[in-house]
Amino acid sequence: MTLAPDELARSFERRYGRSPRLFRAPGRVNLIGEHTDYHEGLVLPIALERGTLVAAAARDDRVLRVHSASAGADGEVDLDAPAVTRRGHWLDYVEGTARELEADGGPLPGADLWIEGDVPVGAGLSSSASLEVALALALLALAGRRAEAVRVARLCQSAEHRYVGTQCGIMDQLTSTAGRAGHALLIDCRSLALRPIRLPEDAAIVVCDSGVRHRLASSEYNARRAESEEAARRLGRPTLRDVAPDVLERSDLRGPLRARARHVVTEIERTRRGAEALAGGDLVGFGALMGESHRSLREDYEVSAPELDALVAAAAGVPGVYGSRLTGAGFGGCTVTLASPSAVPRLGAALSEALQGGFGRRPTWFVTRAAGGAGEIRPPS
Ligand code: GLA
Protein backbone atom coordinates (compact mmCIF):
# COMPACT_ATOMS: atom_id res chain seq x y z
CA MET A 1 0.00 0.00 0.00
CA THR A 2 1.28 3.47 -0.78
CA LEU A 3 0.11 6.41 1.23
CA ALA A 4 -1.77 9.03 -0.75
CA PRO A 5 -2.27 12.04 1.51
CA ASP A 6 -4.67 13.85 -0.83
CA GLU A 7 -6.83 10.80 -1.17
CA LEU A 8 -6.85 10.34 2.60
CA ALA A 9 -7.87 13.99 3.08
CA ARG A 10 -10.74 13.56 0.60
CA SER A 11 -11.92 10.33 2.24
CA PHE A 12 -11.79 12.06 5.61
CA GLU A 13 -13.89 14.95 4.31
CA ARG A 14 -16.49 12.54 2.94
CA ARG A 15 -16.66 10.61 6.21
CA TYR A 16 -16.51 13.43 8.75
CA GLY A 17 -17.74 16.41 6.73
CA ARG A 18 -14.73 18.67 7.31
CA SER A 19 -11.10 19.07 6.30
CA PRO A 20 -8.39 17.36 8.34
CA ARG A 21 -4.82 18.25 9.12
CA LEU A 22 -2.37 15.55 8.05
CA PHE A 23 0.62 14.17 9.94
CA ARG A 24 3.14 11.56 8.94
CA ALA A 25 5.66 9.61 11.02
CA PRO A 26 8.14 7.10 9.59
CA GLY A 27 8.96 3.57 10.68
CA ARG A 28 12.64 2.76 11.05
CA VAL A 29 15.20 0.15 10.18
CA ASN A 30 18.18 -0.25 12.44
CA LEU A 31 21.53 -0.73 10.69
CA ILE A 32 23.41 -1.80 13.83
CA GLY A 33 23.10 -1.48 17.63
CA GLU A 34 20.39 -3.99 18.56
CA HIS A 35 19.07 -4.46 22.10
CA THR A 36 21.42 -1.77 23.34
CA ASP A 37 19.05 1.20 23.72
CA TYR A 38 17.59 0.10 27.06
CA HIS A 39 21.14 -0.17 28.38
CA GLU A 40 21.79 3.44 27.41
CA GLY A 41 24.03 2.22 24.59
CA LEU A 42 24.44 3.28 20.96
CA VAL A 43 22.14 2.59 18.01
CA LEU A 44 22.41 3.46 14.32
CA PRO A 45 18.99 3.45 12.61
CA ILE A 46 17.49 5.24 9.63
CA ALA A 47 13.92 6.49 9.30
CA LEU A 48 12.05 4.62 6.55
CA GLU A 49 10.18 6.06 3.60
CA ARG A 50 7.25 4.01 4.90
CA GLY A 51 5.23 5.19 7.83
CA THR A 52 1.88 6.09 9.35
CA LEU A 53 -0.36 8.87 8.14
CA VAL A 54 -2.93 10.42 10.48
CA ALA A 55 -5.71 12.73 9.32
CA ALA A 56 -7.21 14.63 12.24
CA ALA A 57 -9.81 17.26 13.08
CA ALA A 58 -10.82 18.41 16.57
CA ARG A 59 -14.25 17.64 18.03
CA ASP A 60 -16.27 19.62 20.56
CA ASP A 61 -16.31 16.74 23.03
CA ARG A 62 -13.51 14.62 24.52
CA VAL A 63 -13.90 11.53 22.38
CA LEU A 64 -11.20 10.21 20.04
CA ARG A 65 -13.02 8.54 17.17
CA VAL A 66 -10.63 6.44 15.11
CA HIS A 67 -11.03 4.83 11.72
CA SER A 68 -8.61 2.84 9.59
CA ALA A 69 -9.78 1.49 6.25
CA SER A 70 -6.73 -0.66 5.55
CA ALA A 71 -6.85 -2.23 9.02
CA GLY A 72 -10.65 -2.57 8.73
CA ALA A 73 -10.88 -1.10 12.20
CA ASP A 74 -12.89 1.47 14.11
CA GLY A 75 -12.57 2.42 17.74
CA GLU A 76 -13.24 5.08 20.34
CA VAL A 77 -11.45 6.39 23.38
CA ASP A 78 -13.40 8.66 25.74
CA LEU A 79 -10.82 10.83 27.45
CA ASP A 80 -13.28 11.62 30.25
CA ALA A 81 -13.71 7.93 31.09
CA PRO A 82 -11.17 6.04 33.22
CA ALA A 83 -8.11 4.97 31.22
CA VAL A 84 -8.03 1.42 29.86
CA THR A 85 -4.67 -0.33 29.56
CA ARG A 86 -3.47 -3.46 27.74
CA ARG A 87 -6.53 -4.44 25.75
CA GLY A 88 -4.05 -6.28 23.54
CA HIS A 89 -4.82 -4.44 20.31
CA TRP A 90 -4.13 -1.26 18.36
CA LEU A 91 -6.43 0.98 20.43
CA ASP A 92 -3.87 0.67 23.26
CA TYR A 93 -1.52 2.85 21.20
CA VAL A 94 -4.19 5.50 20.75
CA GLU A 95 -5.24 5.45 24.38
CA GLY A 96 -1.65 5.39 25.66
CA THR A 97 -0.40 8.22 23.46
CA ALA A 98 -3.34 10.48 24.32
CA ARG A 99 -3.15 9.77 28.06
CA GLU A 100 0.60 10.40 28.19
CA LEU A 101 0.17 13.71 26.35
CA GLU A 102 -2.54 14.70 28.83
CA ALA A 103 -0.40 13.71 31.82
CA ASP A 104 2.40 15.84 30.39
CA GLY A 105 0.57 18.99 29.34
CA GLY A 106 -3.10 18.95 30.28
CA PRO A 107 -6.41 17.99 28.63
CA LEU A 108 -6.68 17.39 24.89
CA PRO A 109 -9.71 18.06 22.74
CA GLY A 110 -11.54 15.07 21.27
CA ALA A 111 -10.77 14.32 17.63
CA ASP A 112 -11.93 12.51 14.57
CA LEU A 113 -8.98 10.49 13.31
CA TRP A 114 -8.26 8.42 10.24
CA ILE A 115 -5.10 6.35 10.38
CA GLU A 116 -3.36 4.57 7.49
CA GLY A 117 0.06 2.99 7.41
CA ASP A 118 2.35 1.05 5.11
CA VAL A 119 4.84 -0.33 7.63
CA PRO A 120 4.24 -4.08 7.96
CA VAL A 121 2.94 -4.82 11.46
CA GLY A 122 5.08 -6.95 13.79
CA ALA A 123 7.99 -6.98 11.34
CA GLY A 124 10.54 -5.15 13.48
CA LEU A 125 10.20 -1.92 11.46
CA SER A 126 8.45 0.10 14.20
CA SER A 127 4.95 0.30 12.85
CA SER A 128 3.82 0.96 16.42
CA ALA A 129 6.27 3.80 17.07
CA SER A 130 5.25 5.43 13.79
CA LEU A 131 1.59 5.19 14.82
CA GLU A 132 2.28 6.67 18.27
CA VAL A 133 4.39 9.51 16.92
CA ALA A 134 2.02 10.47 14.06
CA LEU A 135 -0.85 10.45 16.51
CA ALA A 136 1.06 12.45 19.10
CA LEU A 137 1.88 15.16 16.57
CA ALA A 138 -1.75 15.28 15.45
CA LEU A 139 -3.15 15.52 18.98
CA LEU A 140 -0.57 18.12 20.04
CA ALA A 141 -1.36 20.24 16.97
CA LEU A 142 -5.11 20.08 17.58
CA ALA A 143 -4.49 21.19 21.16
CA GLY A 144 -2.31 24.06 19.95
CA ARG A 145 0.70 22.59 21.74
CA ARG A 146 4.23 21.96 20.56
CA ALA A 147 6.88 19.60 21.87
CA GLU A 148 10.41 18.90 20.72
CA ALA A 149 11.44 15.59 19.17
CA VAL A 150 12.97 14.02 22.28
CA ARG A 151 9.99 14.86 24.47
CA VAL A 152 7.48 13.43 21.97
CA ALA A 153 9.61 10.29 21.68
CA ARG A 154 9.75 9.86 25.45
CA LEU A 155 5.99 10.27 25.86
CA CYS A 156 5.33 7.71 23.12
CA GLN A 157 7.82 5.29 24.69
CA SER A 158 6.06 5.70 27.99
CA ALA A 159 2.69 4.99 26.30
CA GLU A 160 4.14 1.73 25.08
CA HIS A 161 5.42 0.79 28.55
CA ARG A 162 2.22 1.59 30.40
CA TYR A 163 -0.60 0.97 27.95
CA VAL A 164 0.80 -1.70 25.63
CA GLY A 165 3.14 -3.49 28.03
CA THR A 166 6.34 -3.65 25.97
CA GLN A 167 9.32 -2.33 27.94
CA CYS A 168 10.93 -0.86 24.81
CA GLY A 169 13.90 1.50 24.64
CA ILE A 170 13.85 4.95 23.01
CA MET A 171 15.30 4.07 19.59
CA ASP A 172 12.12 3.57 17.55
CA GLN A 173 10.23 6.64 18.70
CA LEU A 174 13.28 8.90 18.55
CA THR A 175 14.19 7.77 15.04
CA SER A 176 10.63 8.46 13.98
CA THR A 177 10.62 11.99 15.41
CA ALA A 178 14.23 12.94 14.57
CA GLY A 179 15.10 11.00 11.37
CA ARG A 180 17.18 12.85 8.81
CA ALA A 181 16.82 12.29 5.05
CA GLY A 182 19.89 10.68 3.50
CA HIS A 183 21.46 9.99 6.90
CA ALA A 184 21.72 7.29 9.51
CA LEU A 185 21.33 8.58 13.07
CA LEU A 186 23.92 7.61 15.64
CA ILE A 187 21.92 7.91 18.86
CA ASP A 188 23.63 7.85 22.22
CA CYS A 189 20.77 6.47 24.29
CA ARG A 190 22.38 7.81 27.48
CA SER A 191 22.71 11.48 26.57
CA LEU A 192 20.20 11.26 23.68
CA ALA A 193 22.75 13.13 21.58
CA LEU A 194 22.14 12.55 17.87
CA ARG A 195 24.84 12.44 15.22
CA PRO A 196 23.56 12.24 11.64
CA ILE A 197 25.91 10.26 9.41
CA ARG A 198 25.52 10.75 5.68
CA LEU A 199 24.92 7.48 3.87
CA PRO A 200 27.25 6.81 0.95
CA GLU A 201 25.53 6.98 -2.48
CA ASP A 202 26.94 3.62 -3.50
CA ALA A 203 25.18 1.67 -0.74
CA ALA A 204 21.66 0.29 -1.11
CA ILE A 205 19.74 -0.60 2.04
CA VAL A 206 17.59 -3.66 1.43
CA VAL A 207 14.94 -4.70 3.95
CA CYS A 208 13.60 -8.25 3.71
CA ASP A 209 10.54 -9.37 5.65
CA SER A 210 10.64 -13.08 6.46
CA GLY A 211 6.92 -12.98 7.21
CA VAL A 212 7.63 -14.83 10.48
CA ARG A 213 5.75 -13.39 13.46
CA HIS A 214 6.32 -14.59 17.00
CA ARG A 215 3.18 -14.59 19.10
CA LEU A 216 5.20 -14.04 22.28
CA ALA A 217 7.59 -11.43 20.86
CA SER A 218 6.64 -8.82 23.46
CA SER A 219 7.07 -11.11 26.46
CA GLU A 220 10.30 -12.57 25.02
CA TYR A 221 11.54 -9.01 24.53
CA ASN A 222 10.71 -8.10 28.13
CA ALA A 223 12.43 -11.30 29.30
CA ARG A 224 15.68 -10.44 27.45
CA ARG A 225 15.58 -6.96 28.89
CA ALA A 226 15.09 -8.32 32.41
CA GLU A 227 17.94 -10.84 32.00
CA SER A 228 20.40 -8.27 30.72
CA GLU A 229 19.42 -5.88 33.52
CA GLU A 230 20.02 -8.68 35.99
CA ALA A 231 23.45 -9.22 34.41
CA ALA A 232 24.27 -5.52 34.94
CA ARG A 233 23.16 -5.79 38.58
CA ARG A 234 25.38 -8.81 39.17
CA LEU A 235 28.27 -6.87 37.67
CA GLY A 236 27.54 -4.05 40.09
CA ARG A 237 26.75 -1.47 37.37
CA PRO A 238 23.53 0.47 36.67
CA THR A 239 23.48 -0.54 32.98
CA LEU A 240 25.62 -2.58 30.59
CA ARG A 241 26.78 0.72 29.03
CA ASP A 242 28.87 1.01 32.18
CA VAL A 243 30.60 -2.35 31.64
CA ALA A 244 33.79 -2.37 29.58
CA PRO A 245 34.43 -5.51 27.47
CA ASP A 246 37.51 -6.49 29.52
CA VAL A 247 35.61 -6.10 32.80
CA LEU A 248 33.01 -8.57 31.56
CA GLU A 249 35.78 -10.84 30.32
CA ARG A 250 37.36 -10.99 33.80
CA SER A 251 34.08 -11.28 35.71
CA ASP A 252 32.74 -14.51 37.13
CA LEU A 253 29.31 -14.02 35.53
CA ARG A 254 28.43 -17.36 33.90
CA GLY A 255 25.77 -19.02 31.76
CA PRO A 256 23.01 -17.23 29.84
CA LEU A 257 23.46 -13.98 31.79
CA ARG A 258 27.09 -13.79 30.66
CA ALA A 259 26.01 -14.37 27.07
CA ARG A 260 23.29 -11.70 27.28
CA ALA A 261 25.77 -9.21 28.74
CA ARG A 262 28.39 -10.13 26.13
CA HIS A 263 25.96 -9.33 23.33
CA VAL A 264 25.05 -5.89 24.69
CA VAL A 265 28.60 -4.90 25.63
CA THR A 266 30.13 -5.99 22.31
CA GLU A 267 27.20 -4.59 20.29
CA ILE A 268 27.73 -1.13 21.78
CA GLU A 269 31.38 -1.34 20.73
CA ARG A 270 30.44 -2.59 17.24
CA THR A 271 28.04 0.31 16.85
CA ARG A 272 30.72 2.80 17.83
CA ARG A 273 33.11 1.30 15.26
CA GLY A 274 30.32 0.92 12.70
CA ALA A 275 29.46 4.61 12.89
CA GLU A 276 33.10 5.52 12.23
CA ALA A 277 33.32 3.04 9.34
CA LEU A 278 30.15 4.44 7.76
CA ALA A 279 31.26 8.03 8.25
CA GLY A 280 34.55 7.15 6.56
CA GLY A 281 32.81 5.38 3.65
CA ASP A 282 34.24 2.00 4.70
CA LEU A 283 31.31 -0.16 3.61
CA VAL A 284 33.28 -3.40 3.74
CA GLY A 285 34.27 -2.70 7.35
CA PHE A 286 30.69 -1.77 8.23
CA GLY A 287 29.35 -4.92 6.57
CA ALA A 288 31.70 -7.14 8.58
CA LEU A 289 30.37 -5.58 11.79
CA MET A 290 26.80 -6.30 10.64
CA GLY A 291 27.74 -9.96 10.26
CA GLU A 292 29.24 -10.04 13.77
CA SER A 293 26.15 -8.34 15.14
CA HIS A 294 23.91 -11.03 13.66
CA ARG A 295 26.08 -13.83 15.10
CA SER A 296 25.93 -12.20 18.51
CA LEU A 297 22.14 -11.77 18.34
CA ARG A 298 21.77 -15.39 17.28
CA GLU A 299 24.17 -17.04 19.70
CA ASP A 300 24.39 -14.76 22.74
CA TYR A 301 21.07 -12.91 22.80
CA GLU A 302 19.12 -15.75 21.17
CA VAL A 303 16.62 -13.57 19.36
CA SER A 304 17.07 -14.88 15.82
CA ALA A 305 14.94 -17.42 13.94
CA PRO A 306 15.97 -20.07 11.37
CA GLU A 307 14.35 -18.05 8.58
CA LEU A 308 16.36 -14.93 9.52
CA ASP A 309 19.60 -16.94 9.69
CA ALA A 310 18.87 -18.36 6.23
CA LEU A 311 18.22 -14.89 4.79
CA VAL A 312 21.43 -13.51 6.30
CA ALA A 313 23.47 -16.47 5.02
CA ALA A 314 21.95 -16.15 1.54
CA ALA A 315 22.72 -12.43 1.41
CA ALA A 316 26.32 -13.01 2.51
CA GLY A 317 26.87 -15.26 -0.50
CA VAL A 318 25.93 -12.60 -3.06
CA PRO A 319 28.83 -10.68 -4.66
CA GLY A 320 28.53 -6.97 -3.90
CA VAL A 321 26.80 -7.47 -0.54
CA TYR A 322 28.66 -5.75 2.31
CA GLY A 323 26.76 -7.20 5.23
CA SER A 324 23.43 -8.45 6.53
CA ARG A 325 21.75 -8.99 9.89
CA LEU A 326 18.41 -9.28 11.59
CA THR A 327 16.97 -5.89 12.48
CA GLY A 328 14.69 -4.81 15.31
CA ALA A 329 13.82 -6.94 18.30
CA GLY A 330 14.08 -10.25 16.40
CA PHE A 331 11.99 -13.41 17.00
CA GLY A 332 11.00 -13.13 13.31
CA GLY A 333 10.48 -10.00 11.26
CA CYS A 334 13.11 -8.55 8.96
CA THR A 335 16.72 -8.58 7.93
CA VAL A 336 18.60 -5.52 6.71
CA THR A 337 21.33 -5.84 4.08
CA LEU A 338 23.81 -3.28 2.84
CA ALA A 339 24.79 -3.87 -0.78
CA SER A 340 26.20 -2.21 -3.83
CA PRO A 341 23.18 -1.00 -5.89
CA SER A 342 24.20 -3.22 -8.81
CA ALA A 343 23.97 -6.29 -6.53
CA VAL A 344 20.31 -5.70 -5.61
CA PRO A 345 18.62 -7.84 -8.31
CA ARG A 346 20.81 -10.86 -7.47
CA LEU A 347 20.31 -10.24 -3.78
CA GLY A 348 16.52 -10.21 -4.19
CA ALA A 349 16.66 -13.50 -6.08
CA ALA A 350 18.90 -15.08 -3.43
CA LEU A 351 16.61 -13.96 -0.59
CA SER A 352 13.54 -15.38 -2.33
CA GLU A 353 15.32 -18.61 -3.13
CA ALA A 354 16.54 -19.07 0.47
CA LEU A 355 13.12 -18.61 2.02
CA GLN A 356 11.12 -20.42 -0.62
CA GLY A 357 13.54 -23.32 -0.93
CA GLY A 358 14.17 -23.73 2.80
CA PHE A 359 10.80 -22.84 4.33
CA GLY A 360 8.19 -22.67 1.58
CA ARG A 361 7.68 -18.98 2.33
CA ARG A 362 7.79 -16.05 -0.01
CA PRO A 363 9.69 -13.08 1.42
CA THR A 364 8.87 -9.49 0.56
CA TRP A 365 11.81 -7.17 0.17
CA PHE A 366 12.31 -3.54 -0.70
CA VAL A 367 15.07 -0.99 -1.10
CA THR A 368 14.78 2.10 1.08
CA ARG A 369 16.48 5.42 1.41
CA ALA A 370 16.78 7.22 4.73
CA ALA A 371 13.76 9.51 5.14
CA GLY A 372 13.22 12.58 7.29
CA GLY A 373 11.48 12.57 10.67
CA ALA A 374 7.81 13.01 11.52
CA GLY A 375 5.84 16.17 10.84
CA GLU A 376 2.75 17.79 9.42
CA ILE A 377 2.63 17.16 5.71
CA ARG A 378 0.16 19.83 4.66
CA PRO A 379 -0.38 23.17 6.31
CA PRO A 380 -3.94 23.92 7.44
CA SER A 381 -5.99 25.39 4.58
C1 GLA B 1 12.42 -2.92 19.65
C2 GLA B 1 12.35 -1.86 20.73
C3 GLA B 1 13.58 -0.95 20.68
C4 GLA B 1 14.87 -1.75 20.67
C5 GLA B 1 14.81 -2.87 19.62
C6 GLA B 1 16.00 -3.80 19.69
O7 GLA B 1 12.33 -2.32 18.39
O8 GLA B 1 11.19 -1.08 20.60
O9 GLA B 1 13.55 -0.05 21.76
O10 GLA B 1 15.17 -2.25 21.94
O11 GLA B 1 13.63 -3.65 19.75
O12 GLA B 1 17.16 -3.13 19.36
Predicted confidence pLDDT, tens digits, the chain (381 residues): 456 899 999 999 999 999 999 999 999 999 999 999 999 999 999 999 999 999 999 999 999 999 998 788 899 999 999 999 999 889 999 999 999 999 999 999 999 999 999 999 999 999 999 999 999 999 999 999 999 999 999 999 999 999 999 999 999 999 999 999 999 999 999 999 999 999 999 999 999 999 999 877 889 999 999 999 999 999 999 999 999 999 999 999 999 999 999 999 999 999 999 999 999 999 999 999 999 999 999 999 999 999 999 999 999 999 999 999 999 999 999 999 999 999 999 999 999 999 999 999 999 999 999 999 999 997 545
Q: Check pocket membership of 132 for ligand 1, CB cut-off 6 A.
A: no
**The predicted structure's pLDDT at residue 217:** 83
The Cβ of residue 158 has, within 10 Å, a number of other Cβ atoms equal to: 18
DSSP letter for each residue of 139-196: HHHHTT----HHHHHHHHHHHIIIII-----SHHHHHHHH--TTEEEEEETTT--EEE
Q: Which residues contact 219 (CB under 8 A, 6 or more apart)?
A: none
Q: Which long-range contacts (CB under 8 A, 24 or more apart) does 348-357 make?
A: 348/206, 350/314, 350/315, 350/317, 350/318, 351/206, 351/208, 351/311, 351/314, 351/315, 353/314, 354/310, 354/311, 354/313, 354/314, 355/210, 355/211, 355/307, 355/310, 355/311
The alpha carbon torsion through 33, 315, 358, 301 (nearest 10 deg) reads: -20
Chain centroid, CA 137 distance in Å = 17
**The predicted structure's pLDDT at residue 216:** 76
Which residues are the active-site residues? 172
**The predicted structure's pLDDT at residue 69:** 84
Residues in the chain: 381
For atom 2 of ligand 1, which residue has the closest CA?
A: 168
The Å distance, Cα 165 to ligand 1 centre, comes to 13
Q: Check pocket membership of 28 for ligand 1, CB cut-off 6 A.
A: no
Q: Check pocket membership of 40 for ligand 1, CB cut-off 6 A.
A: no
* Model pTM score: 0.97
Q: Check pocket membership of 133 for ligand 1, CB cut-off 6 A.
A: no
Cβ–Cβ < 8 Å for 185, 175: yes
Task: Choose which residue among 220, 221, 222, 263 to substitute to test ligand 1 binding: the one with the highest number of ligand atoms within 8 A of its C-beta.
Answer: 221
**The predicted structure's pLDDT at residue 380:** 47
For atom 11 of ligand 1, which residue has the closest CA?
A: 329
Closest residue by Cα to residue 192 from 212, 178, 213, 208: 178
The Å distance, Cα 125 to ligand 1 centre, comes to 10
